[in-house]
């Protein structure tokens, strides 16, 4: 018995040492101390085991011993098996910064570092712009009119966008722009997202485009000429990156620029002869200036010895000879301005290169650095805005749509998707707002940008699918009254552009994060490249300590022992502790995958994707907790926070379980399961009671509904287009009174107090007035209320040949 007790003491002591990553000496101390006590109590075999363990730990763990025999052997082996990092991968890895995403790799994230920079809202001028200019712009948009009737924004809207400098949000004020923060850009795009054509048209020039590249890399001459013109809309930019053979793999650009001599403005100069074919270029049909990425070569050595200069970015005026531009693609559901650009033997001078000749060959680095920020803002902000607007309309519709004499929002089959819509909206808003705040604090979040782009656009698709289901026939019938159909169709665009989601999930999130964010991997690779054995020794054995630490933290916290200390309130503390626990499990599994698969991990995309899912949901959960911690919770927000966190933790645990089920090394997988999931899966889908509460909250006039919708278009703006969400909000404000009167008239009809032929609500209201069931005031109120309800339920119809572009091909089926 004593031997068993001493064994447990030794185990507990070692677990404590490992959890704290205290190093070899404390571990040796624990084993020697317990070994001596074991010897005193006559437990010889335990004493032997502990002394042998202490000796092995000393030999392998103390620098004075290991550096003489163990480190050289490990270093030699590491050089053989370490993955080779290509030049393009190296640029991507070095781009951006590592912040909270790096903390999640440590297994013991420092929550105070996350909470140190509060989101304090927008500047006064920024908030005024969101409230006024954005409201007016979106109120000029009807989805059917823009997508079907015009396939464009109205001229008065283009003029307004230029006048109010919507295209100059990122351009500094000294160049005539608005100089907005990342938080403000996010807020603008969430407000405009009620119409995706408008959101994309504004978002893209402020994201990946010449404006951002010029601000960061342009010459003074380029900045002084172009930035004022881009800010006020005299120039409309586009950026040509993708082509028929270069989509998500932008490094495979086949477009060439050959350094040569040619004529420019009547003089012979050294320049570049371009041949290119680009497609899927947003704003290309109307652009006046084209940013272009191409592979630059100098076969004759006119610029120096380097023949293959590399990817380069240039800025080319629309009227440049040899460039074909103006044709359009038709993006599904949302025909925003998008089209191809071609060029044959287009000659440009060297000073068209963004940043001048010194930036030749730096295009890939420029693009990666810009993408890391732009991908965090445009599409994720649009997704969050679309989700919020959809949550508002879905809640409103399901409350006023009655079947079986009850609002469909009270049916549990409808409540489930309503709660999902609300939860994913809350997560998306938290993620974009607080990541934008990080950008304003100086971060350039490369890995979070991939997380937000993938997961929030997937949320957008999920939310719209659920919304289509709860709307039924209202949403599947296109027309001016349909506020969902074109957005639902257009969701595929967000899934595909700026890095296809399949690739982002399976390659980018974990593939980049595993090296970029890991506390030691990049240091180990750098030591290998520098052939620095001392640096390698420090990094490798620090890495080993991290592995043991994460194993100990994963196991003990999974058993409910030694939960992490977190600076959160009682409502959110257990969720932060769960994220800390899964952070340790994620770090341990990441190291196990990299160790057992080595360079093969690059090709095991399903394994990488599941690890990426764990990292992503850890990040999204962190943003939800930060949002909860910093805000003033509205009534009902606690339930929404709990729903969202339960959903994310369930997703983390499911990804962990699937990773363990499919890890190729089954022995290692079995050990990992015993460490990370010793009690099995514990986080289930949100409970039904929580689902009911959230569905009720989002479909009635509640504080949490108002808070969810605070950043989207909720008013009847100056542009004159009716806002369905404003109409629903008006109906919900009167819903309690209307519901009592619905019940009153239904009860009277059931009792036979009203004519049996009074089947329409309007007929019953009139009959109720005649029978003194309703007062005149009640009848008038219900007439007006039901008229708006009927309008919200009504769908459009058209002339028989309306949709045929070739009227001659229309068959007159019933012609006499």
Q: Of the candidates 570, 658, 675, 643, which has an alpha carbon nearest to the alpha carbon of residue 611? A: 658
Give the bridge partners for 406, in sequence order: 403
Q: Are strands 237-240 and 289-297 parallel, antiparallel or unpaired?
A: parallel
The helix/strand/coil state of 676 is helix
Q: Which residues contact 772 (CB under 8 A, 6 or more apart)?
A: none
Give the bridge partners for 291, in sequence order: 239, 315
Given a contact cutoff of 8 angstroms between Cβ atoms, the answer to whether 507 and 530 are in contact is no
Give the total residue count for the chain.
816
416 is annotated as an active-site residue: no
Place of tokens 């307004």: 160
Q: How far apart are CA 41 and CA 3, in angstroms?
A: 8
> Count of alpha carbons within 13 Å of 431, Cβ hemisphere only?
40
**Which H or E element spans position 317?**
strand 308-317
Structure tokens at 814: 């019933």
Given a contact cutoff of 8 angstroms between Cβ atoms, the answer to whether 634 and 704 are in contact is yes
The helix/strand/coil state of 185 is helix
Question: Distances in Å between the alpha carbon of 559 and those of 585, 654, 668, 740?
Answer: 13, 18, 20, 51
Given a contact cutoff of 8 angstroms between Cβ atoms, the answer to whether 201 and 153 are in contact is yes
Place of tokens 């490094």: 251
Structure tokens at 527: 């030591």
Place of tokens 């957005």: 487
Residue 328 region, left (φ>0) first, then alpha (ψ -120 to 50), else beta?
A: beta
Question: Distances in Å between the alpha carbon of 433 and those of 569, 620, 711, 734?
Answer: 21, 12, 11, 32
80-86: long-range contacts, CB 8 A cutoff, minimum separation 24:
81/598, 81/599, 82/524, 82/525, 82/528, 82/598, 82/599, 83/598, 83/599, 83/601, 83/602, 84/599, 85/515, 85/525
Q: How far apart are CA 188 and CA 144, in angstroms?
A: 22
From the candidates 416, 443, 498, 524, give the one annotated as an active-site residue. 498
Q: What is the DSSP string of 199-222?
A: HHHHHGGGSSSHHHHHHHH--HHH
Q: How far apart are CA 430 and CA 437, in angstroms?
A: 11
Q: How far apart are CA 302 and CA 802, in angstroms?
A: 61
Rounded to 10°, the helix 724-733/363-400 angle is: 40
Residue 301 region, left (φ>0) first, then alpha (ψ -120 to 50), else beta?
A: left
Q: How far apart are CA 281 and CA 294, in angstroms?
A: 14
Q: Within its chain, how far is the Cα of 323 from the centroid?
A: 35
CA 559, 560, 564: angle at the middle one, nearest 5? 125
Structure tokens at 312: 């380069």
According to DSSP, residue 802 is labeled T
Q: How far apart are CA 738 and CA 746, in angstroms?
A: 12
Does the CA dihedral 347-352-356-360 come out positive or negative?
negative
Place of tokens 């709660």: 419
The helix/strand/coil state of 407 is strand
The helix/strand/coil state of 472 is coil
Catalytic residue ranges: 498
């Amino acid at each position: 018995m004593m031997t068993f007790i001493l064994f447990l003491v030794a185990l507990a002591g070692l677990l404590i040492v490992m959890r704290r990553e205290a190093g070899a000496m404390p571990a040796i101390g624990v084993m020697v101390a317990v070994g001596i006590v074991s010897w005193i109590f006559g437990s010889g075999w335990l004493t032997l085991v502990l002394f042998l363990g202490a000796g092995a730990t000393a030999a392998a763990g103390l620098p004075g011993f290991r550096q003489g025999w163990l480190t050289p052997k490990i270093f030699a082996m590491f050089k053989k098996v370490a993955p080779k990092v290509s030049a393009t991968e190296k640029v991507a890895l070095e781009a951006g910064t590592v912040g909270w995403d790096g903390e999640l790799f440590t297994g013991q994230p420092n929550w105070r570092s996350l909470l140190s920079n509060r989101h304090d809202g927008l500047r006064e001028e920024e908030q005024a712009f969101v409230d006024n200019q954005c409201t007016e712009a979106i109120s000029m948009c009807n989805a059917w009119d823009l997508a079907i009737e015009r396939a464009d924004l109205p001229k008065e809207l283009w003029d307004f966008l230029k006048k109010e400098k919507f295209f100059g949000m990122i351009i500094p004020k000294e160049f005539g722009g608005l100089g907005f923060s990342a938080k403000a850009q996010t807020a603008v795009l969430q407000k405009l997202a009620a119409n995706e054509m408008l959101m994309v048209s504004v978002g893209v020039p402020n994201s990946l485009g010449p404006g951002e590249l010029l601000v960061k890399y342009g010459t003074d001459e380029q900045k002084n000429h172009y930035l004022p013109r881009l800010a006020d809309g005299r120039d409309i930019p586009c950026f040509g990156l993708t082509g028929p053979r270069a989509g998500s793999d932008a490094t495979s650009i086949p477009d060439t620029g050959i350094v040569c001599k040619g004529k420019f403005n009547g003089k012979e100069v050294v320049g570049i002869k371009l041949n290119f074919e680009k497609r899927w270029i947003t704003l290309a049909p109307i652009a006046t200036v084209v940013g272009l990425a191409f592979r630059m070569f100098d076969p004759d050595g006119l610029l120096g010895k380097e023949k293959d200069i590399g990817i380069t970015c240039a800025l080319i005026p629309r009227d440049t000879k040899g460039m074909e531009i103006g044709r359009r693609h038709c993006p599904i559901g949302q025909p925003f301005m998008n089209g191809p650009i071609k060029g044959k033997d287009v000659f440009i001078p060297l000073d068209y290169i963004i940043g001048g000749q010194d930036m030749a060959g730096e295009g890939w680095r420029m693009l990666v650095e810009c993408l890391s920020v732009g991908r965090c803002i445009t599409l994720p902000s649009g997704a969050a805005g679309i989700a919020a607007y959809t949550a508002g309309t879905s809640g409103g519709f399901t409350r006023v749509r009655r079947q079986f004499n009850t609002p469909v929002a009270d049916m549990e089959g409808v409540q489930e998707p309503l709660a999902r819509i609300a939860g994913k909206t809350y997560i998306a808003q938290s993620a974009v707002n607080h990541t934008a705040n990080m950008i304003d604090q100086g971060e350039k979040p490369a890995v979070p940008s991939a997380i937000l782009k993938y997961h929030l656009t997937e949320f957008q698709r999920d939310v719209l699918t659920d919304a289509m289901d709860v709307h039924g026939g209202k949403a599947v019938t296109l027309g001016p009254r349909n506020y969902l159909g074109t957005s639902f169709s257009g969701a595929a665009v967000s899934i595909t552009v700026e890095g296809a989601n399949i690739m982002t999930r399976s390659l980018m999130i974990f593939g980049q994060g595993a090296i970029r964010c890991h506390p030691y991997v990049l240091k180990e690779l750098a030591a290998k490249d520098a052939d620095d054995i001392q640096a390698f020794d420090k990094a490798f054995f620090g890495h080993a300590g991290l592995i043991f630490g994460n194993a100990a933290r994963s196991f003990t916290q999974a058993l409910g022992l030694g939960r992490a200390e977190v600076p959160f309130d009682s409502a959110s503390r257990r969720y932060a502790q769960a994220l800390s626990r899964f952070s340790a499990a994620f770090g341990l599994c990441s190291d196990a995958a990299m160790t057992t698969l080595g360079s093969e991990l690059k090709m095991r995309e399903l394994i990488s994707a599941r690890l990426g899912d764990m990292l992503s949901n850890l990040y999204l959960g962190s943003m939800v907790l930060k949002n909860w911690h910093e805000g003033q919770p509205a009534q009902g927000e606690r339930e929404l926070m709990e729903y969202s966190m339960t959903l994310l933790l369930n997703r983390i645990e499911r990804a962990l379980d699937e990773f363990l089920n499919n890890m190729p090394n089954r022995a290692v997988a079995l050990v990992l399961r015993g460490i990370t999931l010793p009690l099995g899966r514990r986080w289930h889908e949100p409970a039904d009671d929580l689902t009911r509460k959230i569905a009720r909250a989002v479909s009635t006039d509640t504080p949490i509904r108002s808070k969810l919708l605070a950043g989207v278009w909720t008013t009847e703006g100056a542009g004159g287009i009716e806002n369905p969400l404003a109409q629903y909000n008006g109906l919900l404000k009167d819903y309690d009174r209307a519901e009592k009167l619905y019940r009153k008239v239904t009860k009277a009809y059931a009792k036979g107090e009203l004519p049996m032929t009074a089947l329409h609500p309007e007929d019953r209201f009139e009959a109720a007035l005649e029978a003194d069931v309703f007062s005149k005031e009640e009848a008038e109120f219900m007439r007006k209320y039901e008229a708006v309800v009927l309008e919200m339920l009504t769908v459009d119809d058209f002339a028989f040949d309306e949709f045929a572009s070739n009227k001659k091909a229309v068959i007159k089926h019933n012609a006499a």
